[in-house]
Amino acid sequence: MINEKNEIAALLEGRRINKKYTYRSCYLLAKHYKELGLEKIDIRNSIFEWAKKFSIYISDDLNAIIQRAFYDKHNLVENVEIKISKEDIDEIFNRFDKSNTRLTAFAILCFAKKFADKDGMFYMSRIGLSNWIGIDQSNLSNRHIKELIDFGYLNKVSQEEIKYIKRRGKHVSKMLIYKIKVNYANIGDYIVSDNDIIKEFENIISIYDNLYCVSQDNVNK
């Protein structure tokens, strides 16, 4: 999700595919093939070959997706280094108990550290987030995102702010538009490269738990 080239590699291997919602997958593949130098018609054919290989039905307007990919002047994101601090993990543990809510908070924090603007605002694909962390979209929106908002980790962006985003030419369809309320400075001792966000989360939590146990042992001595 942060490291787009990793996400594309997974898509080409048949992983991290949401067959019900293919817009994001097609868009990333279109950008990938554009960077390889393919013409629009060749990109169209390549994406349909990929879809056929993995039994995917594309219901979106593929030509429009390819045109948008050519309009997008940003390079695909790679070589990601998100830094996580003990304070970041403390914020998550102090606010949430359920493992999937903690994972959602962690993933959104990583995303915000990379993409949030100076006001903490960021734009995130609901489908992309669901595929990224392996949580069903319904549970993600109705339970975990709601809990993050209820307990002060995120704020919903107002309709006025959404209108402002549209005036800036941002594509907001199928996007989660929020402001993160906790510190999202990219500092810390733990490094996330977005090779496998779930495993990276589990590794950091394991380190955190070990540090917590050592700290408690020192207190008890």
Rounded average pLDDT over 31-52: 98
Q: How confident is the model at residue 175 (pLDDT cuts 50, 70, 90)?
A: low
**Can you give the residue ranges of every domain in the chain?**
4-71, 82-220
Per-residue model confidence (pLDDT) at position 123: 83
Q: Which of 125, 140, 107 is nearest to 27 (CA)?
A: 125
* Assigned fold of 82-220: Arc Repressor Mutant, subunit A (1.10.10)
**Which pLDDT does position 221 carry in this prediction?**
40
**Alpha-carbon span 163 to 172, nearest angstrom:** 10
pLDDT in tens, 97-122: 999 999 999 999 999 999 998 989 88
Q: How far apart are CA 144 and CA 175, in angstroms?
A: 16
Least confident of 36-40, 123-127, 150-154, 177-181: 123-127
Select from 58, 51, 69, 71 the least CA-distant residue to 23: 58
- Pair 188, 86: CB distance under 8 Å: yes
CA-closest candidate to residue 192, choices 96, 87, 79, 100: 79
Share of the chain above pLDDT 90, in %: 63
Question: Has residue 41 got a pLDDT over 60?
Answer: yes
As given in the structure block, the two tokens for residue 183 are 């510190």
How many residues in the chain? 221
Per-residue pLDDT at 217 = 45
As a whole number, the mean pLDDT across the chain is 88
pLDDT digits (tens, 9 = 90+) for 186-213: 999 999 988 789 999 999 988 877 655 5
